[in-house]
Structure 1
Amino acid sequence: MTKEEILTLSKKVCKNTLMETLDIEFIEVGEDYLIAKMPVTPRVHQPEGVLHGGATVALAESVGSFASYVFLDTDEFFVRGIEISANHLKSVSEGFVYAKATYLHKGRTTQLWNIRITDAEENLISIVKLTTITLPKKK
């Protein structure tokens, strides 16, 4: 798949999902990474007016899971997230946050993703680890 095909596919698969609800947009793909962005507005704030950690984790799982989907043979397999952990390091109240997913481990069955959430100035907002599992589709 070309970069353009992957980004077009992302728009299709995000329709009527949490990703659409949170305005998550996949913006860049490389040979071993995928980047998405999400606007930080009151819709994703906690009551104190900063980005909710749950919205941050939803962004991270979205980009990591979609990266597994893109980089694996999804004609034969499906992908599910099985574990996620996040450390929130800095708060942000407006603008965009960016999630870059890169492999730490690319196994046949499990994949471990490192996902860095940054702001527009590349300040580290959160660091997330996501484990996905690849399972065969039933014929």
Structure 2
Amino acid sequence: MTNDQDLTQLMRDNMGALNIRMGVELVEVSPERVVGTMPVEGNTQPYGLLHGGASVVLAETLGSVAAALNAGPDRFAVGIDINATHHRSARQGLVTGVATPLHVGRTMSSFEIVLTDEDGKRVCTSRITCAVLDRDPGPKASA
């Protein structure tokens, strides 16, 4: 297994409580493209429409996974900015998000995440920017 495969499996196995509660599933994971789905049911606002915050949760998850994959094994990514434009509502079924890189640099990366409904219509466009940091090497051995 490569480092990317290890990281991909770790992410799929450890989605976190919020993603589990919201039904987020990773479908395709690579540094160039991360795809995930989320059900509309259970993630709606009082009018029965997909909650905008739920769209942002899916977008941030996919963008963060993409940033982590691009950061490399000795680095990690933390989100520092996210925005979303909600184009149309979804009332049922699954929404699918696709995260693709806009910029992958040594200290910062940005990704566009497009969410679509089951008819392929764009529901939301989001952009996330992540800082890429060195992992703490841990305590230094005393001389």
Q: TM-score, normalised by structure 2?
A: 0.87
Runs of 4+ in 1 over 6 A off after TM superposition: none
Of all paired residues, the percent bearing the same amino acid is 32
- Per-residue CA shift, 1:81-131, capped at 9, x if unaligned? 100110000000110001100001011111010000001221000000100
Query: Unaligned 5+ residue runs, structure 1?
Result: none
Residue of structure 1 in register with 2:67 after alignment: 68
Distance 1:3 1:110, change over 3 A: closer
Question: In the aligned structure 1, how far is the partner of 2:13 from the partner of 2:84?
Answer: 28
**Corresponding pairs, count:** 136
Distance 1:29 1:138, change over 3 A: closer
Task: Report SS of the residue matched to 2:14.
Answer: helix
- Per-residue CA shift, 1:37-88, capped at 9, x if unaligned? 00110x2100000000000001000000011112321x31121110011000
Residue 58 in 1 paired to residue 19 in 2? Answer: no
Question: In the aligned structure 2, how far is the partner of 1:61 from the partner of 1:31?
Answer: 15
Residue of structure 1 in register with 2:21 after alignment: 21
RMSD over equivalenced CA pairs, Å: 1.8
Whether contact under 8 Å (1:7, 1:27) holds in the other structure is no
Question: In the aligned structure 2, how far is the partner of 1:3 from the partner of 1:131?
Answer: 21
Task: Report SS of the residue matched to 1:85.
Answer: strand
Distance 1:123 1:29, change over 3 A: same
Whether contact under 8 Å (1:76, 1:137) holds in the other structure is yes
Q: TM-score, normalised by structure 1?
A: 0.89
Query: Unaligned 5+ residue runs, structure 2?
Result: 138-143
Residue of structure 2 in register with 1:108 after alignment: 106
